[in-house]
């Protein structure tokens, strides 16, 4: 039987949520920049450093423990993305993985080739491809978004693609607008012209179940520190792409995955922590999503996301109706309560007569954590004219935030609006 989402139990899974400063609770609304870490993640990383402190692949106990972490962490990431374990690459972060793969993918680009980037993406999914294109005299085309709907101009997609298109890079959820994009549609269009499709799933992974098979992409990346884990990233690299790409690698390293695309010694502790973060979703799924505790990991994960989405939708509704009541606020993203399935709970807004840095300072003074600026969302902030100058306030809700915290945030914003 499905138990209702017990926010007290969920919050107890995150030790940092209990921290106070001079008796004042910490209220974390900075999740789009980085989430708090689940306690099981901390335990797993400590265990890895205690029991598996060796290179993997050896005959002795600690080395075998490191090998077991690598196997389990790749299987876990595969369950998160719905792919095979040998289609997973661990890396330091999404930006460095995209730079590494941009170098490999662009090796055979020629002058006159074309790529398609978007005006909505975080710069991690723009600059690596933009700079590779400049090196190879490749033409860059841009998928724009509509300032009324905050959605891509999908009607223009086909016109951007052609026989010379080599790559399309698109974000699944915007770290600025919060929009969830129809990446399956974009990837299908890319595939139809033989182009490689790359999906940035950094902002979607904490909120919705990712399915690379349904998306139909060639690469997809997410950062574990945005989904309750450590500073690490996981990349889906389809077997077809693996066969096409020629990695730079040291001569002694083996051709087999995951070593083929992972130069050097990986962070075993980060892999252990990432697996534990993935298991957090599975825990939610069996505790609140109706999945059996012995159901396959993927099934528990997707049940976890069902529970998270339902809970976060209620929080979004609460936040948006409160925000709408504060005079002078302009929300830069979907605000319609009937369209919440098209967004993640990341809200960027400006307030008439109040600079964003002053607002987040006012929040910080109340021990409420949020960001001001443009968050490396170079293109979308540029479209709105909010890149240069004080920028906008960004508030992110997570499944560990309570309705009481949202009430406190809204009260603080109303005070600061003055
Ligand atoms: C949508 C999106 N893509 C990419 C990144 C960059 O991720 P990383 O810090 O792991 O390189 C971020 C970080 O904020 C992001 O929000």
Give yes or no for residue 94 CB within 6 A of ligand 1. Answer: yes
DSSP string spanning 306-373? HHHHHHHHHHHHHHHHHHHTSTTEEESS---GGGGGGB-SEEEEEETTB-HHHHHHHHHHTTEE-EEE
- Beta pairing, strands 329-331 & 346-351: antiparallel
pLDDT at 122 (0 to 100): 98
Give yes or no for residue 203 CB within 6 A of ligand 1. Answer: yes
Q: Which two tokens stand for residue 139?
A: 């033409």
State in Å: Cα 126 to ligand 1 middle. Answer: 11
Ligand 1: residue whose CA is nearest its atom 5:
124
Instruction: Determine the residue of 34, 117, 122 to mutate for testing ligand 1's pocket, defined as the one with the most ligand atoms within 8 A of the Cβ atom.
Output: 122
State in Å: Cα 118 to ligand 1 middle. Answer: 15
Give yes or no for residue 223 CB within 6 A of ligand 1. Answer: yes
pLDDT at 4 (0 to 100): 87
d(CA 126, CA 379): 9
Give yes or no for residue 95 CB within 6 A of ligand 1. Answer: yes
Once rounded to an integer, what is the mean pLDDT over residues 309-338? 97
Ligand 1 atom nearest 98 alpha carbon = 11
pLDDT at 418 (0 to 100): 87
- State the CATH architecture for 7-39+299-417: Alpha-Beta Complex (3.90)
Percent of the chain past pLDDT 70, that is, above it, reads 100
Ligand 1 atom nearest 375 alpha carbon = 14
Give yes or no for residue 200 CB within 6 A of ligand 1. Answer: yes
Q: Which two tokens stand for residue 349?
A: 């807004």
Ligand 1 atom nearest 231 alpha carbon = 10
Give yes or no for residue 171 CB within 6 A of ligand 1. Answer: yes
104-143 pLDDT, tens digit each: 999 999 999 999 999 999 999 999 999 999 999 999 999 9
Output the furthest CA–CA distance in the chain (Å, rounded). Answer: 66
CB 394 within 8 A of CB 376: no
Percent of the chain past pLDDT 90, that is, above it, reads 98
State in Å: Cα 298 to ligand 1 middle. Answer: 24
State in Å: Cα 31 to ligand 1 middle. Answer: 12
State in Å: Cα 57 to ligand 1 middle. Answer: 32
Give yes or no for residue 124 CB within 6 A of ligand 1. Answer: yes
pLDDT score of 384 more than 80: yes
d(CA 325, CA 241): 50
Q: How confident is the model at residue 379 (pLDDT cuts 50, 70, 90)?
A: very high
Tokens 């929300």 sit at which residue? 331
State in Å: Cα 395 to ligand 1 middle. Answer: 16
pLDDT at 3 (0 to 100): 73
Instruction: Determine the residue of 95, 119, 398 to mutate for testing ligand 1's pocket, defined as the one with the most ligand atoms within 8 A of the Cβ atom.
Output: 95
State in Å: Cα 202 to ligand 1 middle. Answer: 6
Q: Which two tokens stand for residue 125?
A: 């999914």
Give yes or no for residue 233 CB within 6 A of ligand 1. Answer: yes
Q: Residues 205-227, buried b or exposed e (16+ Cβ, 10 A)?
A: bbbbbbbbeebbbbbbbbbbbbb
Ligand 1 atom nearest 92 alpha carbon = 10
1-50 pLDDT, tens digit each: 457 899 999 999 999 999 999 999 999 999 999 999 999 999 999 999 99
- The gap from C-alpha 89 to its chain's centroid, in whole angstroms, comes to 16
Residue intervals of the chain classified under CATH 3.40.640.10 are 43-277
Give the CA-trace dihedral at 235, 236, 241, 246, to 10 degrees: 30
Give yes or no for residue 175 CB within 6 A of ligand 1. Answer: yes
389-410 pLDDT, tens digit each: 999 999 999 999 999 999 999 9
Q: Quote the crossing angle between the two packed helices 297-324 and 403-417, to the nearest 10°.
A: 30
Listed range (27-36, 188-197, 247-256) with the worst mean pLDDT: 247-256
53-81 pLDDT, tens digit each: 999 999 999 999 999 999 999 999 999 99
Give yes or no for residue 401 CB within 6 A of ligand 1. Answer: no
204-241 pLDDT, tens digit each: 999 999 999 999 999 999 999 999 999 999 999 999 99
State in Å: Cα 222 to ligand 1 middle. Answer: 8
Average pLDDT, the chain: 97
Ligand 1 atom nearest 203 alpha carbon = 1
Looking at the domain that runs over 43-277, which CATH code has it been given? 3.40.640.10
Residue intervals of the chain classified under CATH 3.90.1150.10 are 7-39+299-417
Give yes or no for residue 30 CB within 6 A of ligand 1. Answer: no
From first CA to last CA, the distance across the chain in angstroms is: 47
Give the residue from 95, 32, 118 showing the smallest Cα distance to 383: 118
pLDDT at 2 (0 to 100): 58
State in Å: Cα 279 to ligand 1 middle. Answer: 22
The set of residues, in sequence order, having a beta carbon less than 8 Å from that of 72 and lying 6+ positions away, is: 275
d(CA 235, CA 88): 6
């Amino acid at each position: 039987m499905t138990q209702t989402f017990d926010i007290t139990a969920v919050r107890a899974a995150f030790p940092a949520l209990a921290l106070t400063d001079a008796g004042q609770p910490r209220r974390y609304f900075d999740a789009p920049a980085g989430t708090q870490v689940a306690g099981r993640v901390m335990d797993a990383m400590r265990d890895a450093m205690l029991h598996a402190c060796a290179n993997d692949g050896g005959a002795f106990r600690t080395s075998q423990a490191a090998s077991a972490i690598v196997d389990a962490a790749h299987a876990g990431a595969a369950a998160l993305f719905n792919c095979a374990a040998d289609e997973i690459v661990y890396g330091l972060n999404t930006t460095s993985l995209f730079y590494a793969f941009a170098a490999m993918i662009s090796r055979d680009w020629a002058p006159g080739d074309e790529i398609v980037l978007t005006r909505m993406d975080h710069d991690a999914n723009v600059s690596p491809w933009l700079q590779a294109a400049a090196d190879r005299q490749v033409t860059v085309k841009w998928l724009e978004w509509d300032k009324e709907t905050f959605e891509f101009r999908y009607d223009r997609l086909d016109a951007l693609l052609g026989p010379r298109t080599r790559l399309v890079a698109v974000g699944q959820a915007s770290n600025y607008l919060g929009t969830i994009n129809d990446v399956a549609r974009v990837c299908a269009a890319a595939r139809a012209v033989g182009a490689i499709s790359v999906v940035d799933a950094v902002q979607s992974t904490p909120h919705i179940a990712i399915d690379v098979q349904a998306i139909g992409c060639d690469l997809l990346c997410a950062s574990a520190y945005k989904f309750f884990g450590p500073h690490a990233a996981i990349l889906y690299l389809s077997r077809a792409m693996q066969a096409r790409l020629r990695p730079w690698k040291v001569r002694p390293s083996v051709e087999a995955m995951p070593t083929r695309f992972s130069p050097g010694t990986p962070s075993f502790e980060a892999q252990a922590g990432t697996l534990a973060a993935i298991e957090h979703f599975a825990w939610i799924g069996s505790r609140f999503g109706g999945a059996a505790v012995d159901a396959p990991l993927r099934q528990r994960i997707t049940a976890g996301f069902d529970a998270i989405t339902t809970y976060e939708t209620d929080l979004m509704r609460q936040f948006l109706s409160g925000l709408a009541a504060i005079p002078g606020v302009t929300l830069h993203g979907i605000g319609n309560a009937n369209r919440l399935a098209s967004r993640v709970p990341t809200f960027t807004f400006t307030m008439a007569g109040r600079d964003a840095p002053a607002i987040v300072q006012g929040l910080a003074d109340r021990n409420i954590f949020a960001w001001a600026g443009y968050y490396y969302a170079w293109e979308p902030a540029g479209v709105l004219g909010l890149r240069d100058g004080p920028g906008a306030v960004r508030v992110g809700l997570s499944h560990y935030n309570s309705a009481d915290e949202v009430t406190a945030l809204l009260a603080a914003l109303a005070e600061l609006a003055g």
